[in-house]
């Protein structure tokens, strides 16, 4: 079985679902702008631009737009994996997916890639004019660096997504748990609220999320701290990803076993 | 002939909860299968025939590795469904509910391409196979090739579902009520195809249905299943021959009261079924020699205020066989 054929199939499925569902396409394009606008509005009402800049060290518009891009891209690594079994169950494709000979871990690892590609490309084109405006031509290099880091971040998020998917879907009414787990991960990533300012417990939890180190490295790039720490953070993220991969495979097997022992619903 | 499917003493229990108010509940164990054993050979269509809740879908789910049995063993294409699910999955074509189970925003062809990738088919082979199946199931004539699945009629969905089951050219086909809710032309097309697949391509087909007529014309062998037990098996002819030498006397009567009719027939000690529409009642009476009771019966019915509209004698149908074996009251 070619992994490329599987990837191609997933890309066609997700792009058809996105492009042929117009509301989803429009929302996907507008989402980063809406989110940035909302957060900036909230920020303006709470304090001034100067206070933000002095505390964080980055222009708030750049910070918020980058944070939106980062969170949107990284959360795809969790979202598409976590919600997919529920979606497949609702539309009745789950039994065929389980009863097919495909390696489920391979399939689930591929699942977030199509939407992540779309989001990364959209995010790149959204950020580019803003960075050029702020940093001049060197903004092009900066936005490329940020995009590359985010792409690494997406890959490092997937095993955690698969691990959680396996565990959460083994429990009944998983969608309720999902709606709690998802925002927690979003906060712990530290994109909007940098890890540096988090309370100790949240900070420790944040360290266990592989792409949170990528988020920190993006923030370091934005404040101009491009040093060896960047590599350390990327290495930490990759190390955690490697650490999460075997349990995520096991968790998916556990989910499949659990599903089969209680019976996969077919109607 | 080798065995394509072998089930040995399959038992499956489900736990259900009876609720009393918000907090109290009682767990009840329901036995969906109670020691089901059968075999299916290559080139053979075996019908699993039974009413709703008889255990047909549970059997299909176990054989397709979607459910673990509590007891017993099952082999598909020689592989154990519990110990070797990956191998089993490579050797089965599966058709479950026809109206769902595809991605709505993909066309019929794109859906098949997606599932071909899941089944690990090489892209070139998959393309040829999909072209062949779309033509075979006449989906191209119905526009199913390029229409989105969400725009498909039920008949087109059933055809696409069968196409998916045939994608990997698996030697064993598990088809769960493939013609349920279909219009006659689509149902007939699917039945013809299934027969060809078994008899020409030597595939083993397990075909569940609760349609007696369909079972009789499609299946080479029938397993009658009721309340999780196979109550009888054989060819349609063999099953009918297993009945006591009974014939069916069918009377059409006009009269006011069904209760009165039931009382009259009950007084005569005759096993019967009544179906009524307006004031016309059709009575099916199972007896060995209808001619012996006919005159007395008609006299009694007329004296009870019924008018005889027509009478005929028929050989028992598969439905009669099913009622005899499942309810045992003929």
pLDDT tens, position by position, for chain B (330 residues)?
579 999 999 999 988 888 888 888 888 888 999 999 999 999 999 999 888 888 999 999 999 999 999 999 999 999 999 999 999 999 999 999 878 899 999 999 999 999 999 999 999 999 999 999 999 988 998 888 889 999 999 889 999 999 999 999 999 999 998 888 788 888 888 899 999 999 999 999 999 988 888 888 999 999 999 889 998 899 988 887 777 667 888 999 998 788 888 888 888 887 788 888 888 999 988 888 888 888 888 888 888 889 999 999 887 777 777 777 776 544
Mutation to test the B interface, candidates A5, A21, A257, most B Cβ within 10 Å: A5
With the C-alpha atoms ordered B3, B323, B180, A89, is the resulting torsion angle positive or negative? negative
Return the residue of A nearest to B95 by Cα.
A96
The ipTM estimated for the assembled molecules is 0.87
> What is the per-residue pLDDT across A35-92, written as a single tens digit (0 to 9) for each?
777 777 777 777 777 777 777 778 888 888 888 889 989 999 888 888 899 999 999 9
| Last residue of one domain, picked from the residues B233, B258, B292 | B233
Mutation to test the A interface, candidates B60, B62, B117, B124, most A Cβ within 10 Å: B117
For residue A173, is pLDDT > 80?
no
Return the top range by mean pLDDT from A4-13, A162-171, B251-260, B279-288: A4-13
Same domain, yes or no, for B103 and B190?
yes
Question: Cβ separation of A107 and B118 shorter than 8 Å?
Answer: yes
| Cβ-nearest to B118 among A92, A97, A261 | A97
Return the residue of A nearest to B107 by Cα.
A16
Same domain, yes or no, for B218 and B284?
no
Q: Is B102 on the interface with A (CB under 8 A)?
A: yes
Domain contains B136: yes
> What is the per-residue pLDDT across A187-209, written as a single tens digit (0 to 9) for each?
999 988 888 888 999 999 999 99
Same domain, yes or no, for B179 and B310?
no
- How far is the alpha carbon of A9 from chain B, nearest alpha carbon, in Å? 5
- How far is the alpha carbon of B89 from chain A, nearest alpha carbon, in Å? 5
Residues in chain B: 330
| 3-class DSSP string for chain B | CCEEEEEEEEEEEEEEEEEECCCEEEEEEEEEEEEEEEEEECCCEEEEECCCCCCHHHHHHHHCCCCCCCEEEEEECCEECCCCHHHHHHCEEEECCCCCCCCCCCEHHHHHHHHHHHCCCCHHHHHHHHHHHHHHCCCCCCCCCCCEHHHCCHHHHHHHHHHHHHCCCCCEEEEECCCCCCCHHHHHHHHHHHHHHHHCCCCEEEEEECCHHHHHHHCCEEEEEECCEEEEEECHHHHHHCCCCCEEEEEEEECCCHHHHHHHHHHCCCCEEEEEECCEEEEEEEECCHHHHHHHHHHHHHHCCCEEEEEEEECCCHHHHHHHHHHCCC
| Cβ-nearest to A16 among B94, B105, B118 | B105
Domain contains B31: no
B221's tokens:
């062998």
CA-nearest of A217, A29, A236 to A118 is A29
Same domain, yes or no, for B103 and B189?
yes
Question: Cβ separation of A12 and B110 shorter than 8 Å?
Answer: yes
| Cβ-nearest to A102 among B110, B118, B148 | B118
Largest CA distance in chain A: 60
Q: What is the residue whose two structure tokens read 């590609």?
A: A117
Chain A residues touching B61 at Cβ < 8 A: 263-264, 266
Q: Is B120 on the interface with A (CB under 8 A)?
A: yes
Q: What is the residue whose two structure tokens read 């494709």?
A: A93
For residue A240, is pLDDT > 90?
yes
Chain B residues touching A91 at Cβ < 8 A: 100-104
Residue contacts between A and B (CB atoms, under 8 Å): 107
Boundaries of every domain in chain A: 3-262
- How far is the alpha carbon of A120 from chain B, nearest alpha carbon, in Å? 23
Structure confidence at residue B209 (pLDDT): 86
| Cβ-nearest to B119 among A17, A92, A100 | A100
Structure confidence at residue B330 (pLDDT): 44
Domain contains B22: no
Chain B residues touching A101 at Cβ < 8 A: 86, 89-90, 118-120
| Last residue of one domain, picked from the residues B184, B203, B233 | B233
Structure confidence at residue B99 (pLDDT): 81
Same domain, yes or no, for B184 and B102?
yes
pTM of the model: 0.83
The total domain count for chain B is 2
B284's tokens:
């099916």
Question: Cβ separation of A102 and B119 shorter than 8 Å?
Answer: yes
Structure confidence at residue A32 (pLDDT): 67
For residue A138, is pLDDT > 60?
yes
Chain A residues touching B104 at Cβ < 8 A: 91
Structure confidence at residue B1 (pLDDT): 52
Q: Where in the sequence is the domain holding B282, given as residue range(s)?
A: 247-326
| Cβ-nearest to B120 among A1, A99, A266 | A1
CA-nearest of A20, A11, A141 to A80 is A11
Same domain, yes or no, for B228 and B291?
no
* CATH code: domain of residue B112: 3.40.50.300
- Note which residues in 9-68 of chain B have CB less than 8 A from chain A: 14, 57-58, 61, 64-68
Q: What CA–CA distance (Å, rounded) separates A194 from A246?
A: 29
* Mean pLDDT confidence for A246-256: 94
Domain contains B240: no
Same domain, yes or no, for B258 and B202?
no
| Last residue of one domain, picked from the residues B233, B266, B299 | B233
Q: What CA–CA distance (Å, rounded) separates B229 from B31?
A: 10
């Amino acid at each position: 079985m070619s992994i490329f054929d599987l990837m191609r199939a997933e890309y066609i499925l997700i792009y058809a679902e996105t492009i042929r569902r117009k509301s989803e396409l429009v929302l996907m394009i507008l989402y980063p702008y809406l989110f940035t606008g909302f957060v900036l509005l909230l920020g303006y009402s709470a304090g001034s631009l100067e206070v933000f800049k002095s505390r964080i060290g980055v222009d708030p518009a750049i910070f918020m737009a980058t944070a939106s891009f980062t969170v949107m891209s990284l959360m795809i690594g969790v979202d598409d994996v976590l919600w997919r079994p529920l979606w497949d169950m609702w539309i009745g494709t789950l039994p065929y997916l389980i009863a097919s000979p495909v390696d489920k871990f391979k399939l689930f690892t591929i699942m977030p890639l199509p939407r992540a590609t779309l989001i990364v490309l959209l995010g790149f084109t959204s950020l580019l004019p803003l960075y050029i405006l702020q940093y001049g031509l060197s903004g092009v290099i900066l936005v490329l660096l940020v995009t590359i880091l985010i792409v690494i971040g997406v890959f490092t998020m997937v095993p955690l997504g698969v691990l959680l998917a396996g565990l959460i879907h083994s429990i009944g009414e998983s969608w309720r748990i999902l709606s709690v787990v998802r925002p927690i991960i979003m906060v712990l990533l530290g994109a909007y609220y940098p890890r540096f300012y988090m309370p100790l417990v949240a900070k420790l939890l944040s360290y266990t999320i592989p792409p949170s180190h990528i988020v920190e490295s993006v923030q370091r790039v934005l404040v101009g701290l491009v040093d060896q720490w960047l590599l350390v953070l990327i290495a930490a993220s990759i190390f955690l990803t490697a650490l999460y991969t075997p349990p995520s495979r096991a968790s998916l097997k556990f989910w499949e076993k659990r599903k089969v022992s209680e019976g996969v619903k077919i109607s | 002939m080798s065995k394509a499917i072998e089930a040995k003493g399959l038992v499956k229990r489900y736990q259900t909860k009876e609720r009393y108010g918000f907090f109290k509940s009682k767990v009840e164990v329901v036995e969906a299968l109670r020691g089901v054993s059968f075999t299916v050979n290559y080139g053979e269509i075996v019908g699993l025939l039974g009413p709703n809740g008889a255990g047909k879908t549970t059997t299909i789910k176990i054989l397709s590795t979607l459910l673990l049995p509590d007891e017993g063993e099952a082999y598909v294409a020689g592989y154990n469904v519990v110990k070797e699910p990956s191998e089993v999955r490579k050797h089965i074509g599966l058709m479950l509910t026809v109206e769902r189970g595809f991605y709505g925003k993909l066309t019929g062809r794109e859906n098949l391409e997606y599932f071909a990738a899941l089944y690990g088919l090489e892209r070139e082979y998959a393309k040829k196979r999909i072209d062949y199946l779309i033509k075979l199931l006449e989906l191209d004539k119905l526009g199913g090739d390029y229409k989105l699945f969400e725009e498909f009629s039920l008949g087109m969905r059933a055809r696409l579902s069968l196409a998916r089951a045939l994608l990997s050219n698996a030697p064993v086909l598990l088809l769960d009520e493939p013609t349920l809710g279909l219009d006659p032309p689509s149902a007939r097309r699917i039945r013809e195809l299934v027969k060809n697949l078994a008899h020409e391509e030597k595939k083993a087909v397990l075909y569940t249905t609760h349609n007696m007529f369909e079972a009789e014309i499609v299946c080479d062998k029938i397993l009658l299943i009721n309340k999780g037990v196979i109550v009888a098996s054989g060819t349609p002819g063999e099953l009918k021959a297993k009945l006591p030498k009974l014939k069916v006397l069918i009377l059409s009567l006009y009269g006011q009261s069904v209760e009165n009719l039931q009382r009259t027939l009950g007084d005569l000690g005759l096993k019967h079924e009544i179906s009524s529409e307006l004031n016309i009642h059709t009575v099916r009476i199972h007896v060995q020699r209808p001619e012996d009771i006919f005159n007395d019966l008609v006299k009694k019915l007329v004296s009870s205020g019924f008018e005889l509209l027509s009478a005929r004698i028929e050989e028992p149908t598969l439905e009669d066989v099913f009622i005899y074996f499942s309810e045992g009251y003929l």
